Every structure is written in C-alpha cells, then in structure tokens.
Structure 1
Amino acid sequence: MRRLHFSDPDFEARFAALVSERRDTPEDVEASVRDVLAAVRAEGLAAVLRFGAQFDGVELDEAGLRVTPEEIEAGAAACAPEVREAIAFAAERIRTYHERQRPADARFTDTAGVEMGWRWGPIEAVGVYVPGGRAAYPSTVLMNAVPAKVAGVGRIAMVTPPGKLQPAVLAAAQAAGVTEIWRVGGAQAVAALAFGAGPIAPVDKIVGPGNAFVTAAKRRVYGVVGIDALAGPSEIVVVADGLNRADWIAADLLSQAEHDPAAQSILITDDEAFAAQVEAQIEVQIATLATGAVAQASWRDHGAVIIAPLDQSPRLVDALAPEHVEFAVADPDALADQVRHAGAMFLGRHAPEAIGDYVAGSNHVLPTSRAARFSSGLSIYDFIKRTSFVKCDAAAFEALGPATVALAEAEGLPAHARSAALRLGQGAQES
C-alpha cells in the first residue's frame, strides 16, 4: 500500500504513476487461446469436449453437455430458502431498473418532406459466461441475463465450467428465465458460443466476466460476435471524511480487494488520523476473511491512501476513472455532480458498493482499467440495436438529389452519382 499527500511536492508525479499503473493478470495466454479458438472453429464439438477434459479434468459427451430442465429445477430447489428469497428480491429490482432504460422509437418528417426515424429491436441470441471454480456467482447470472430478458432477447445461452453446479447459480438462472445452460468453460466456451459447436448454436453477442483466458478469447472473437467489454481487475475509490466509522470504510475497500490480487482499492480522505484508523482496521479484518490472502496481496501491491482536500476528490476520481466510487461524506451529491468518469457512484455513508453488486438494481458489470472515460456499465442498450430508416416521395427526393450527385462526384463515385441523377426530374413518371 502506498500513501500520497496532496501537500507533497512530488504528489502529482506519484499520483500520475498510480493512475497509469498496469494491473494486468500476469498470464501469457494469447497463444493458448489462439490455438483453442482455431481448433473449435475447425473441429466443433470434438474440440470443446477435448479441451474440457484437458483444462477442467471433466470427461463429458454430447448428451452430458447440456444441463437439463430437471437438473435446473432440482438444483434451484436445493438452494437455501433465504438465498432464493434474496435472488428473487434482487432479480425484481434489477428488472425494474432496466425496464426504465427502454428507449422509444421515433418517426418524423423534416422540412424537406423526408420521412425518417429509427426503431429499436433486440439482439436475437446472447451467450452469458458465468465463472465457476472456487465460488458461485448467482449475481453474475442476474446482472447479465435479466437485462437481456427485459430487452426481449429470444435466446439466452448460459455457459459455465463443468463440475458441480451451485444451487444458487441454478436458482438465479431460473429467476432470470434462463433455460439453456451448457457445461463448458474457458476459451472453448467462448469459441463454442461464437462459432457454434455441435448442439451449441452460435450466438450474436457474448457477455459476462471470466479469467484471462476468457477475456483474451472474447477479444479475439469480437467482430464474429459482439462482446460486452474486456474486463480487468476490480477497482474501488472511497472518498470519505473523518466522521465515518473506520471499520465500515475498511470493509468497503476490502470488498474489492478480495476479488483478485490485482484489484485496486483507494481511499481519499482529508483526515490523516482517520486514514490511519482505516489502515489498522484493514489489517484486523483481513485476518478474519476467508479471502484474506487475496485481499492482503491486493492491498499490499495496489492499495493506496491519498490525503487530500475533499474538494480535490472529483479531479482525482476523474483521473482514475474507476469502476466504483463511494462518496461517504455529509453532502455526497456536491462532489459526485462534478465527476464525469466513473462506472458507478454510491452516495452517502449508507450506500456501500456491495449493495450495487447485488440488490440495488443498477448493473454491476462496469468498465474497468479507466474505460469509464469512454464506456458505460452493462444495460438494456447492450442487448438492443437501432435501425434507421429514410422514406422519400418524389418531391422529397428532388430536395435531396442534387446535393447527393454533387457529393458523389466530388468523391469520385460515379455509380453513386448516377443512382441519384437518374431519378431527378422523374417525379411525374411515378406510378
């Protein structure tokens, strides 16, 4: 963990180094992913099954690849009642939030008499990647699948690494309306969704987080299919005054540090004594966490405490462009209103980032690695597309045709020019 003081003469240089710090997962995966994608594209299901045995240690055949409706029902039923209730609660809040994002179609006639507009429609098929391994992620299912359902996506194909399917994940799939689940993970799952593999039909877009292999595979199949984003390690910035409880703020910082040794947690405060209390609390809490080793590595290698006037925090947050930012201050809106670059903001002492991960209703799939400068979190807009239209009668075309011819000729495209020129003056011949 490093500590930066706004009053230090080298503050700006040290802060710039913090902003530009690379936290890529240290895995050389590109060559491996390239080979997996090529094999699945060429061989289809045979390659998917082979890589599942090689990388996941699970031998499957075509019949065992799909999770049956009976398995989904039985798994969901095995989920603890209080967890099922929480999943239903979260799903409804996520659904309600994303329904408010639905855009309107438009149709209008301009002063030249040209009828124009746009209409929105859902993507036909979407693949959702849900990580497996050491933890179950029902929230990943909800945050990716519920907005897709709200958008009207007709087919949602969920993939998750083979092995024991956690009841909470199956309960979340059921709550989100996902009925197509495949036991396949890693780069081979991304390849199967992009190219198709046996019974796994290709999709039009792939969303959902994964490890470095999954991210590299999504990068390589982009263009064949759409993707949501290239997710990096988690990030949080907490802007807090000295009137907060130190244990609350420490827990907020650790909520991201426990994700990944490359995650980054940053405290900005104007109270040095409070900062010391938070640092002490972090050490106390790390010792009690099952994820303590991961959190310790993250905090040690990438954590930071910045002592600075709070009125400087919007500028600092904008430079960091973090995935999450909390404003745990008396008047959070006054600071948050000045921020342009953040994936999601949490306002007030009782709005920890954790509620955004699960039940607030806003999406927790957010831009990382400073991508908040130019992108947004997952939303209904990731699952719909806009088609424009133009309708001209003869009079409207006469208003647009001459300029079309002039521009086409200026660009050296005679067929374009002829396409318009042939219609000029032909309105009387319309049938």
Structure 2
Amino acid sequence: MTVSTAIARLNAADPDFARHLDHLLSWESVSDDAVNQRVLDIIKAVRERGDAALVEFTQRFDGVDAKSIDDLILGRERLELALTRITPVQREALEKAANRVRMYHERQKQDSWQYTEADGTVLGQKVTPLDRAGLYVPGGKASYPSSVLMNAIPAKVAGVAEVVMVVPTPRGEVNELVLAAACIAGVDRVFTVGGAQAVAALAYGTESVPQVDKIVGPGNIYVATAKRHVFGQVGIDMIAGPSEILVVCDGQTDPDWIAMDLFSQAEHDEDAQAILVSPDAAFLDRVAASIDKLLPTMERAEIIEKSINGRGALIQVRDMQQAIEVANRIAPEHLELSVAEPQAWLPHIRHAGAIFMGRHTSEALGDYCAGPNHVLPTSGTARFSSPLGVYDFQKRSSIIFCSEQGASELGHTASVLARGESLTAHARSAEYRILTQEKGN
C-alpha cells in the first residue's frame, strides 16, 4: 500500500486567505432525498407497528436472526457478565476513566435557588433532572466504550432516573467493552437495535422500548437524520459533523508529536479535519516531513491520507496573536495550545469546544480519561454551543410567589405594559390583585 500526503499550505498574509479558509472549513451535514425519505418511512413504521417493526428492521439491516423483541433485550446481568469477559487491564482503565468523568461532572451539578424580596415576593429557579434519557451507541466495528461513559455518566450525575441504551449488533457481533462500559456507567436497560429505527423507538416508544425525554450519542447519517426529524418530540444533544482538531503551536514542540496529534482526528474518517497554525514557517515544514514519515506506520493510513489531503491544512500566520484570531475564526471542536505559556493565551480564546493546554496535553487524553466530556460542538458551532454536560440532562423551572403587597405593586407595571400590547385580559388579571387603597391613588 502506498500512501502520500499533499496537505494544503495556507498563509494568513495571502489576500485570498479568508476565501481559502472558508472553502477549507465548508462541510454540510445534508441528507439526500433518498436517505431522508427512507428515514421518514422507518419512523412511520416504528410508530405504527412498534416492536414488530424493530424486529423486522434489525433482521433486514443488521442480519440478526431475531424472532421477537425479547431477542433484542439485554438485562443487567448481561452487562455484569461483560465485566468478567474483558481483561483486568481493560476493566481497570474503564473504571479509572469513569471515576474521572464522574468526578468532573459532579462539579457541574446545578441546585435550585430562591430569594425573597422586601415585600415578601419570592423568586427562584427549580432544577429537575429529566425522567429518562436515551443513549445511542454505534455498534460493530465502530464501537466506542468511551462514548458510553461520556453520555451516560453526566445523565446519572444529573439524577436521571433511567438511562436506556440502544446499540446495534450487526450479524450478532456484540462488543463486550461497550457492554462493560454500560455496566460501569449505570445504564439501566439495553436494546440491541440501531439506525433510524432505534431513534424512532426512543422518541415515540414501543411496547417494549420506553419513550425518553432526550436522545444523545453519535451515529451515522441515518441516525443523524432521524434525530433531526424527532427533535421537538424529544430533545437531542446535537447533530455532530466530522471530528476536528486545530493545533496552535509556537514551533517549539516535537514535530512528530504534532503530526500524531493531527492523525488522532484524521483517523476517525475521511471527512475529519486536522489543521496546524504556526508563525514558524520552518516548523510547518518539519511537521509536513513528520507527516510523510509517520503516515506509512499507521493502521488507518488510507483514511488519514484522505482526511489530510482533503480537509487538512498547515497555516502560516504573522505571530501568535494572529494564530489566536484564526483559531477563533475556525471555532474548532478540539483546540490544542501547544505553546510555552498557554495560560497567557487562554483569555483570548473565545470559541472552542475543548482547549488542551501545553505541549504535553494531547487531545487523545480528553477523548478517554481526562474527565471533561468528549461530546463537543463541531463545524464552527462552538461559537454558540457547549460540550455535553450535566446541564443537558436537567430542566430549569422558574419560581414566582407574590405576596399581597408584591402582586399589587407589580400589577401596576404589568397593567401598563399589557394595555400597551392591547391585551386587556392580561391587564385586568393583574389589576384585580392591586390593593383597593392603591387603586384609588
């Protein structure tokens, strides 16, 4: 097998730099009409025929010889069995990662609060966990036990009573690491179904699959399209695009390290994006040489090659200040600040899903065991979105209690504004609570 790279070289001093960067970053998560219609048909079938449709689709798409829905349900005892089937080293790694993820997310918990005004009016916010969350986990070769931890643990920390996991098992292929991760993370129920049919089942419920309040977790184009269609019936985490990494380096990090950091995202799939920004042109040359040297040693070399050649780039900038400007323009999923004083530049970062500080902090640590969530906004959505967290599994309800005096005082203000909007019933509803002596004033 012969692999080679021709990674794009951009220079921020180029008058056409902005146009070239926009072209590099462009990516559309658009389902074609055929995919869209197929997903709509699957959702309709699951809503109409429930478990029978799930069994039929699992037989057809996954090649599983399921006679009934009972063949697609894994009990808690099966998850516990998976713990005994993985190696002690794997179990230790899963448990250590889970503990770190749990500890980090415990700090995100929000509590209800109230305050009382001088006239006795009480205002506040009641924080309540969702009743039930659904977790989609890819199956077969694309098995990610780390995603199970990252999605299920925040839900449990938030206080979600029941976490339901769906995971396809193509041709009956069960991934013991995924099931072990589900056991450690506290997943309550597992159904071995996948695709758009699994999303539909979680959104609308069937005779056996309970309806959930929110669906989280990654999936293919059919899963993403189904999540778009059921949004509103249930909440969803996000419609994620390809994985991304942006490395900002001052030129002093080992170029082999940087090349491998770029590979760590490029190996996900051909559409993944890996970009290096540096003011040091000679360093960019050294990283390009490292890429060519290391690529033939990679197991997923062909995928990396297509990703690097298709969507990767080495960008030269004037100085570190401009490097940060470019980083904010890109708003990457993963941002590595591989520089001497990362803390000095942190206040200038406005848009990034996760920020990896310093030369020794590889993005891969965040994927597995650092603690923060690895479910992050992609495709520039870090401009307005945040990592998955405990707050995604909690609702907030406003609390308003008016004392007699408070209702009377606020009634005057509400009355004026309501009548200004020609909403007379609003105004009179508020005016009824105005104290008699105040009405006469």
Partner of 1:251: 260
Write the distance in 2 (CA, Å) between the matches of 1:360 and 1:330.
21
**Partners of 2:405 and 2:435 within 8 A in 1:** no
Q: Secondary structure at the match of 2:264?
A: helix
Which residues of structure 1 form unaligned runs of 5+? none
Partner of 1:345: 355
Task: Using the TM superposition, name which of 315-324 and 68-77 deviates more.
Answer: 68-77
1:225 equivalent in alignment to 2:234: yes
Alignment of 1:187-202 (within 5 A): 187-202=196-211
Partner of 2:224: 215
Q: Secondary structure at the match of 2:79?
A: helix
Question: Residues 91, 122 of structure 1: CA spacing in aligned structure 2 closer, same or farther, 3 A cutoff?
Answer: same
Q: What's the CA shift for 1:155?
A: 0.3
1:326 equivalent in alignment to 2:336: yes
Indicate which of 184, 199, 220 corresponds to 2:193: 184
Task: Using the TM superposition, name which of 27-36 and 298-307 deviates more.
Answer: 27-36
1:354 equivalent in alignment to 2:360: no
Alignment of 1:59-138 (within 5 A): 59-60=65-66, 61-138=68-145
Indicate which of 394, 401, 411 corresponds to 1:384: 394
Partner of 2:4: none
**Partners of 2:331 and 2:382 within 8 A in 1:** yes
The Cα offsets for residues 301-348 of structure 1, whole Å up to 9 and x where unpaired, read as 000000112221111011101100001111112223201000000010
**Partners of 2:140 and 2:175 within 8 A in 1:** no
1:336 equivalent in alignment to 2:343: no
Q: What's the CA shift for 1:91?
A: 0.4
Write the distance in 2 (CA, Å) between the matches of 1:145 and 1:205.
12
Q: What's the CA shift for 1:422?
A: 2.4
**Partners of 2:76 and 2:183 within 8 A in 1:** no
Write the distance in 2 (CA, Å) between the matches of 1:35 and 1:332.
50
Alignment of 1:131-146 (within 5 A): 131-146=138-153
Which residues of structure 2 form unaligned runs of 5+? 1-6
Task: Using the TM superposition, name which of 72-81 and 260-269 deviates more.
Answer: 72-81
Q: What's the CA shift for 1:25?
A: 7.3
**Partners of 1:366 and 1:377 within 8 A in 2:** yes
Q: Secondary structure at the match of 1:238?
A: strand
Indicate which of 299, 302, 305 corresponds to 1:296: 305
Indicate which of 16, 23, 27 corresponds to 1:22: 27
**Partners of 2:130 and 2:394 within 8 A in 1:** yes
Write the distance in 1 (CA, Å) between the matches of 2:377 and 2:437.
52
Task: Using the TM superposition, name which of 25-34 and 328-337 deviates more.
Answer: 25-34
Give the percent of matched residue pairs that are identical in Structure 1 and Structure 2.
47
Write the distance in 1 (CA, Å) between the matches of 2:217 and 2:437.
53
Q: What's the CA shift for 1:11?
A: 2.4
Q: What's the CA shift for 1:274?
A: 1.9
Q: What's the CA shift for 1:8?
A: 2.8
**Partners of 2:163 and 2:189 within 8 A in 1:** yes
**Partners of 1:138 and 1:172 within 8 A in 2:** yes
Coordinate RMSD, CA, aligned:
1.7
Q: Secondary structure at the match of 2:297?
A: coil
The Cα offsets for residues 373-399 of structure 1, whole Å up to 9 and x where unpaired, read as 001000110011111111112111111
Aligned residue pairs total: 427
Q: What's the CA shift for 1:26?
A: 7.5
Q: Secondary structure at the match of 1:108?
A: strand
Partner of 1:271: 280
The Cα offsets for residues 80-99 of structure 1, whole Å up to 9 and x where unpaired, read as 11111011000000000000
Runs of 4+ residues deviating >4 angstroms: 25-28
State the TM-score, normalized to the length of structure 1: 0.95
Write the distance in 1 (CA, Å) between the matches of 2:261 and 2:15.
30
Partner of 1:152: 159
Q: Secondary structure at the match of 1:287?
A: helix
Write the distance in 2 (CA, Å) between the matches of 1:287 and 1:25.
33
Q: Secondary structure at the match of 2:157?
A: helix
Alignment of 1:30-41 (within 5 A): 30-41=36-47
Task: Using the TM superposition, name which of 165-174 and 103-112 deviates more.
Answer: 103-112
**Partners of 1:113 and 1:392 within 8 A in 2:** yes
